[in-house]
Amino acid sequence: MRSICVLAAGLLVGLASSATAGAAEEAPTFTKDVAPILFDNCVVCHRVGEVAPMALTSYQAVRPWARAIKDKVVSREMPPWHADPEASLDFRNDRRLSQADVDTIAAWVDGGAPEGNPTELPALPPIPTGWQIRDLGEPDAVIRMPVAEEIPASGELPMTNYYIPVPWDEPRYAQALESKPGNRVATHHTVAYIRPGLPPGTRLNEKGLAVRDPSIAVDRNASFEFAQRSVKLTGYAPGKGYKRYPKGAGRVLRPDWYFTLNQHYQPTGKPETDQSELGIWFHDDPIDTDVREIVASDGIAVVEGRELVAEPGQRRPVVPSIPPYADDWKIVAMKVFPEDTTIFSLSPHAHLRGKRFTYTLVRPDGTEQTLLTVPQYDFNWQTFYELTEPMVFPAGSKLVTVGYYDNSVKNRYNPAPDKEVYWAEQSWDEMFNPFFEYGVAAETVTKGSTND
């Protein structure tokens, strides 16, 4: 009897060992199962020279971070995507992993993170060096600051505009645009515009700055309008900086105009340099829709329940500062559309106290539709939310945007909860810029034209 029991126990142990071996054999491997997920979704940022803190381009690079990768993807912290999918439209640039991909990464880590057969490792995607747009190849044109800018170790620096003449003789049509800082650590933003000329009464110096030239006559009656006619192309801030358009839509880039790179630097404690760039990928054919980006505001704001109206000649009202320790400070803005308007993207922008944001469409019949909800805004990773399909707002519609700010000690990014927060350019100040992109009919462009 004892020998039978021993034999039975041996069989059970053998079966258990076989089951364990089978489970190990069935566990996902890096080369076959995990690498394709990381290469398709993560290495655009997680590679040498990019914004992410570590590369995820090989098993040797990934293995030490396996447990952390599982934690980040299971919690949905990575890839970063801050729109609430239950209270937002669908967006074509949605970065979220599928649940199947999340489960694969979790099972791989729980199974010991095996490498697998090296012959099954896919090739890395062809990503142009330094650019986030990876499937269009190298940019067709690169516009860069004329010279590198020297950034001091300390101080509060103003925004500066660098002007570069458009280097072609015929209209071109941008399919995609990307702003790329030369120094991400010191660059708060680089924003690219195009405009019909230099500021009135100025000429360019060797650095691309517009300096006053007394020999140039200025028509004071027309100069203000001329000076304001810049058209925004795209802009880099942490997490964003590139955009692309569907067939037939994009940006008209006119000859004889000027690109403007609006630079804002923040000292890092040591001298730095920067030479930012704008990458452009062209449409092969002319476009019928010219896409513009503006802030959703008609000069009226409701701040903590009080209505404020812009003074004549101002685009926005004077908004009071955010008081110390306020943890849910609220501002509302509204934009009315007098005619049918096609919308392409939404993008809230704030600084370190930004907390959450919503965009709501109010139709002429009073019905409402929530377009975008960002319940946990992150200054360190901002996004253009590009609609899967452009959306038409009927004439008479309103776009209502709401922003909440946290100036309390609960906000881990808050540098000074005991201070008032003013509306200004520095990151420790605040902004409420509910950007959106809309389309207008692209006009026929001839060389030297200044139609807008």
**For the segment 204-244, what is each residue's pLDDT rounded down to a tens digit?**
998 988 888 788 776 554 443 334 567 889 988 777 788 88
Q: Which CATH number fits domain 141-287: 1.10.10.1150, 2.60.120.310, 3.90.1300.10, 2.40.30.130?
A: 2.60.120.310
The answer on pLDDT for 443 being more than 80 is no
State phi, psi for 325 to the nearest 5 degrees: 65, 5
C-alpha closest to that of 189 among 347, 421, 22: 347
Give 156-209 pLDDT, tens digit per residue. Answer: 888 899 999 999 999 999 999 999 999 988 998 899 999 988 888 888 998 988
The answer on pLDDT for 12 being more than 50 is no
**Chain position carrying tokens 């934690």:** 71
Q: Which CATH number fits domain 294-440: 1.10.357.10, 1.20.1440.230, 2.60.120.230, 2.40.320.10?
A: 2.60.120.230
Can you give the pLDDT at residue 120?
Answer: 95
Amino acid at 65: W
Distances (CA, A) of 116 to 112, 184, 222: 11, 36, 69
pLDDT category, 132, cuts 50, 70, 90?
Answer: confident
The answer on pLDDT for 445 being more than 90 is no
Q: How many CB atoms lie within 10 A of CB 450?
A: 12
Check: pTM over 0.85? Answer yes or no: no
State what percent of residues in the chain have pLDDT above 90.
65
The answer on pLDDT for 247 being more than 90 is no
C-alpha closest to that of 372 among 8, 89, 91: 89
Q: What's the whole-number mean pLDDT along residues 412-439?
A: 93
Secondary structure, 3-state, the chain: CHHHHHHHHHHHHHHHHHHHHHHHHHCCCHHHHHHHHHHHHCCCCCCCCCCCCCCCCCHHHHHHHHHHHHHHHHCCCCCCCCCCHHHCCCECCCCCCCHHHHHHHHHHHHCCCCCCCHHHCCCCCCCCCCCCCCCCCCCCEEEECCCCEEECCCCCCCCEEEEEECCCCCCEEEEEEEEECCCCCCEEEEEEEEECCCCCCEEECCCCCEEECCCCCCCHHHHHHHHCCCEEEEEEECCECEEECCCCEEEEECCCCEEEEEEEECCCCCCEEECCEEEEEECCCCCCEEEEEEECCCCEEEECCEEEECCCCCCCCCCCCECCCCCCEEEEEEEEECCCEEEEEEEEECCCCEEEEEEEEECCCCCEEEEEEECCCCCCCCCCEEEEEEEEECCCEEEEEEEEECCCCCCCCCCCCCCCECECCCCCCECCEEEEEEEEECCCCCCCCCCC
Can you give the pLDDT at residue 229?
Answer: 65
Can you give the pLDDT at residue 18?
Answer: 41
Q: Which of 47-61, 206-220, 303-317, 381-395 has the highest mean pLDDT?
A: 381-395
272 in Cβ contact with 185 (< 8 Å): yes
Can you give the pLDDT at residue 452?
Answer: 39
The answer on pLDDT for 449 being more than 50 is no
Give 305-337 pLDDT, tens digit per residue. Answer: 999 998 887 778 899 999 999 999 999 999 999
264 in Cβ contact with 189 (< 8 Å): yes
Tell me the sheet residues that pair with 262: 161, 191
- Of the candidate ranges 289-303, 355-369, 433-447, the one whose mean pLDDT is the lowest: 433-447
The answer on pLDDT for 9 being more than 80 is no
Domain ranges of the chain: 21-120, 141-287, 294-440
Can you give the pLDDT at residue 25?
Answer: 56
Can you give the pLDDT at residue 219?
Answer: 59
Q: What's the whole-number mean pLDDT along residues 46-65?
A: 90
As a whole number of angstroms, the distance between CA 442 and CA 32 comes to: 47
- Of the candidate ranges 53-57, 98-102, 329-333, the one whose mean pLDDT is the lowest: 53-57
State phi, psi for 103 to the nearest 5 degrees: -65, -35
Tell me the sheet residues that pair with 82: none
pLDDT category, 384, cuts 50, 70, 90?
Answer: confident
Can you give the pLDDT at residue 32?
Answer: 96
The answer on pLDDT for 418 being more than 90 is yes
Q: What's the whole-number mean pLDDT along residues 347-373?
A: 97
Distances (CA, A) of 333 to 337, 373, 431: 14, 15, 13
Tell me the sheet residues that pair with 235: 191
Can you give the pLDDT at residue 149?
Answer: 93
As a whole number of angstroms, the distance between CA 171 and CA 248 comes to: 15
Can you give the pLDDT at residue 130?
Answer: 78
- Of the candidate ranges 44-53, 95-104, 202-211, the one whose mean pLDDT is the lowest: 44-53
Sign of CA dihedral 51, 279, 140, 250: positive
